[in-house]
Structure 1
Amino acid sequence: MRKPQIDYAAVFRALPGMVALLTPELVYVDVNDDFVRNTGRAREQLLGRYIFDVFPENPNDPAAAGMRETRESMLRAVATGERDTMAVLRYDIEDPQRPGHWREHFWSPVNAPVLGSDGKVTLVVHRVEEVTELIRARGGPGGDSRARVLEAELYTRARELQEVNERLRQAHAREREVALALQEALLPAPGPLGHHQAAVRYRPAVGTLNVCGDWYDLVDLPGDRFAVAVGDVVGHGLAAACVMGQLRSALSAATRVADGPARALEALGLYARSVAGAESTTAATAFIDWDDHTLTYSCAGHLPPVLLHPDGSVSFLDRATDPPLGASPEHGTRPEATTPFEEGATLVLYTDGLIERRTEDIDTGLARLTDALTRHRHAGPEELADALLAELLPPTGNADDTALVVIAL
């Protein structure tokens, strides 16, 4: 059966309900027939114009907020790449036949972003259902007081919902700022490892709540030795940032006195049992000995570190993996393994935000990481870290925190 040829422009024009397409700068690109019909504006009066030049706020109503609320909703859709559904709002429009006269209207808008091939927002779909008659509830002749009471009640509740949503967004934004500030204060600043090179990166998630569960740490040990660790606390927000700070500090201290990564994780596991919210935290740590050219590592439920060999081949350090912290009913010893490395190799530790995607199997993400490492095997730590973030994180931003450590061996 031959696939039918669809005129999508004609389909758009015929869509029921009012629909408009705008640029990310909120300039009209196209409108459907119902939009033209219900607004009383010709298509030529709309296309190429800024939406709020065509539909300004009612100057006769000092309390009017329809334009501001609509603009903020559209800009949120552009900034987040996610659909923004608004509460019912009053937004009067000027009668095109009687300049200076404004008609009362109630609308139920939805603003949805359209993403381009690069993951950036290219259009905003602005769909509007007019609910003016529903709000008015068709009061009878000479006796519409009941309808007006219903109108006022529904309108008030809609505005209250809008205001509650806005307060929640502001509260979440403040929590994100505090959590990020705490994260920045707790994570160590990158510095030289003697004459060795290293790069660290931390990328918070794009959402207001999905932030601050990941950490990294670098510890200078006696002799030409160094320890590196990454970890991931279950949960998000300020609470996760606080737990992260406690666990990172505890592991950093344990690393300085333990005789290996497994013993350090055992001490961290005991401590985690006394910290609310630390259950099921994952961590991976490796001790680097440049004199012996060996890596000794241990993982507590965490994704395995990666060893990039000078020839471009990749080895996952997965021979010493145990459950996450606090996942076992009884405390026990943890495994560790040792592997040699060649001069010119690179060690990479990371958290799951770098490779995991909700719609993919974990092996797909690991294969993507392997391919990127092989292609950039000649890059130094700084250049390699930047390349991994650029290629592996979604162009619209990562949905989870990402911590990354790259060390030249």
Structure 2
Amino acid sequence: MVEDRELRHRVLEAITDRTLMDLDLDKLLEVLVFRVRDLFAVDTVTVLLLDASGEQLVAKATAGLDEEVFQGVRIPVGEGFAGRVAKLRQPVLIERVDESTVVNPLLWEHGLRELLGVPIVARDELLGVLHVGVMVAREFAEVEAELLQLVADRVALVAHMHRFRTEQAAAAMLVESLLPARLPSTDGWELAARYVAGAGTGVGGDWYDVFPLPGDRIGLVIGDVVGSGLLAAIVMGRLRSALRAYALEFDDPAEVLGKLDRKASHFERRTMATVAYAVIDTVAHRMDFALAGHLPPIIALPDREAEFVRAPVGPPIGYSLGITGRTGTSIDVPPEALLILYTDGLVERRGADLDERLEQLRTTVHLAAPKAVCAHIMATMVGSEPATDDIALVAARHTTPQTS
């Protein structure tokens, strides 16, 4: 009992060392694995963290098994020893280390006899696995598993904070690089756009895109990938690039969204997104567009109140929801007409009725220069309260004077 109390005191002292909080994640893990090796009198200590896909554990720090990190060892969740710890989310002890119990040959090649592993979990989110190994037969005490879990919990806290900061910074940079730096300049058309990251979720999967197309046409896209953070931003980037490629090959927006849905359903199997894609013919003064689970555009015309464009709304992109085909529609866009495309972050608010917010948006839209319209919409719908979700907004106005 005295030894148990002493070990507990030493472990608590090690993991609450304030100097650790000044270290970045990599350095902290490097320090901790060596402290754990000494405290628990083991031969090896390894920290594996979950990759971005959430499907594999990657060796990030080790004491006694440097090859794991140098060789980029990856263990699928659910497979082998570490994969089992991750899947069960509870301590696991094995007393025989060979190809029947582990998938990483480095473990038995180093002569390890026993392994004790615990999950690294923060806010009910699996982040990785911490395990220790010995080369001689040894009976791990229950208190050792408990204390090793305390170390893992400390790692989880730091890893969670580090991942959040890193992913948000990377996502912000990615989104910023993908949003158009300058909207195309087209005679007879004025364009403006706004993008704001959600204050509650950080950068996510909302995006807008405007690009010239062959044949005096303009492509307008507004989309929203389900989820937030770096993964949603990465998926958004892939969908954006794919849609641009399909837009050059196919004139019909419905067909473009059909191709995008097939691509996302096959390659982005856990992805869902809403997308509105429109093509403006600047010569014929018409707009062809299709909606994949997205809120309808708004059109404002001279001497008329703004109104939502009536159009069929197909299922969102992903999960093969659009296998029966997609339908688009076409509307006239006469001179002075104003078009508004937006994501749901503009109108959705906790505790607010969506229909009332949509009606508020509709009545906010008035004929004016697109930049002024965007400013007015954001002032009215967002105001001084931070948006809880991403907002993307595009305004396009046909400025060509009517000729006889």
Shorter chain as denominator, the TM-score bin is 0.5 to 0.7
What is the TM-score when the length of structure 2 is the normalising length? 0.58
Conserved in 1, the CA contact under 8 Å of 2:222 and 2:277?
A: yes
Aligned length: 254
Kindly provide the amino acid, as one letter, of the partner of residue 298 in structure 1. A
CA drift of 1:383 comes to 1.3
Is residue 215 of structure 2 the alignment partner of residue 223 of structure 1? yes
Cα pair distance change 1:294/1:175, threshold 3 Å: same
Counterpart check, 1:185 vs 2:177 = yes
User: SS state of the match for residue 266, structure 2?
Assistant: coil
AA partner of residue 389 (structure 1): M
The answer to whether structure 1 residue 383 and structure 2 residue 372 are counterparts is: yes
Give the aligned residue type for 1:363.
Answer: D
Relative to 1, partners in 2 of residues 1:252 and 1:225: Cα closer, same or farther, differing over 3 Å? same
Select the residue among 199, 204, 213 that pairs with 2:192. 199
Consecutive unaligned residues in structure 2, runs of 5 or more: 1-16, 20-149, 399-404
Partner of 2:341 in structure 1? 349
What code does the residue aligned with 2:382 have?
L
Which string of whole-angstrom CA distances, capped at 9 and with x for unpartnered residues, describes residues 263-297 of structure 1? 11011011111233653311001111122221111
SS at match of 1:313: coil
Q: Map of 1:306-317 to 2, 5 A cutoff? A: 306-317=298-309
Where 2:204 maps in the other structure, the secondary structure is: coil
Partner SS, residue 274 of structure 1: helix
Structure 2 Cα separation of the partners of residues 163 and 326 of structure 1: 35
Aligned residue identity for 2:278: A
Matched-pair contact (CA < 8 Å) for 2:216–2:283: yes
Q: Secondary structure at the match of 1:273?
A: helix
Please name the residue that 2:241 is paired with.
Answer: 249
Amino acid at match of 2:198: A
In the alignment, does 2:349 pair up with 1:360? no
2:338–2:367 Cα contact (<8 Å) kept: no
1:406 maps to 2:395: yes
User: In structure 1, how many angstroms separate the alpha carbons of the residues matched to 2:373 and 2:331?
Assistant: 22
Paired amino acid for 1:359: G
Return closer, same or farther for 1:211/1:382 CA change in 2, 3 Å cut-off. Answer: same
1:293 equivalent in alignment to 2:282: no
Tell me if the contact between 2:272 and 2:318 (Cα under 8 Å) persists in the aligned partners: yes
Give the letter aligned to residue 261 of structure 1. P
Structure 1 stretches lacking a partner, 5+ long: 1-62, 66-156
Aligned partners of 1:243 and 1:278 also within 8 Å = no
TM-score by length of 1: 0.57
Query: What CA distance in whole angstroms lies between the structure 1 residues aligned with 2:161 and 2:251?
Result: 47
Distance across 2 between alignment mates of 1:314 and 1:327: 34
What amino acid does structure 1 have at the position aligned with 2:396? Answer: I
One-letter code aligned to 1:266: G
Residue 280 (1) aligns with residue 269 (2): no
Contact 1:234/1:278 (CA < 8 Å) preserved in 2?
no
Structure 1 residues 388 and 161: alpha-carbon distance in aligned structure 2, compared to 1, 3 A threshold: farther
Q: 1:83-122 alignment to 2 at 5 Å?
A: none
Give the C-alpha shift of residue 311 in structure 1: 2.3
Q: Deviations over 1:164-221 (max 9, x none)?
A: 65763453122111100011112222223322210121100113x4422111111212
Quote the Cα distance in structure 2 between the aligned partners of 1:326 and 1:171: 27
Q: Distance in 2 between the 1:327 and 1:164 partners?
A: 32
- 1:318 aligned onto 2:307: no
User: Cα gap change, 1:369/1:277 in structure 2, threshold over 3 Å: closer, same or farther?
Assistant: farther
Q: How far, CA to CA, are the matches of 2:217 and 2:292 in structure 1?
A: 22
**Identical counterparts, % of pairs:** 36
Distance (Å, rounded) in 2 between the aligned partners of 1:386 and 1:166: 40
Q: Shift in Å at residue 235 of structure 1? A: 0.8
> Does structure 1 residue 340 correspond to structure 2 residue 332?
yes
- Which residue number corresponds to residue 369 of structure 1? 361
- 1:109-139 Cα distance to aligned partner (Å, 9 max, x none): xxxxxxxxxxxxxxxxxxxxxxxxxxxxxxx
Question: Relative to structure 1, is the Cα distance of residues 310 and 330 closer, same or farther in structure 2, using a 3 angstrom cutoff?
Answer: closer
Q: Distance in 1 between matches of 2:322 and 2:331?
A: 29
Please say if residues 310 and 342 of structure 1, whose CA atoms lie closer than 8 Å, have aligned partners that are also in contact: no
Preserved CA contact (<8 Å) 1:214 1:403: yes
Letter in 2 for 1:397: P
Q: In the alignment, is the contact (CA less than 8 A) between 2:218 and 2:281 conserved in 1?
A: yes
| Distance change in 2, residues 1:275/1:399 (3 Å) | farther
Rounded Cα–Cα distance in structure 2 between residues aligned with 1:330 and 1:298: 12
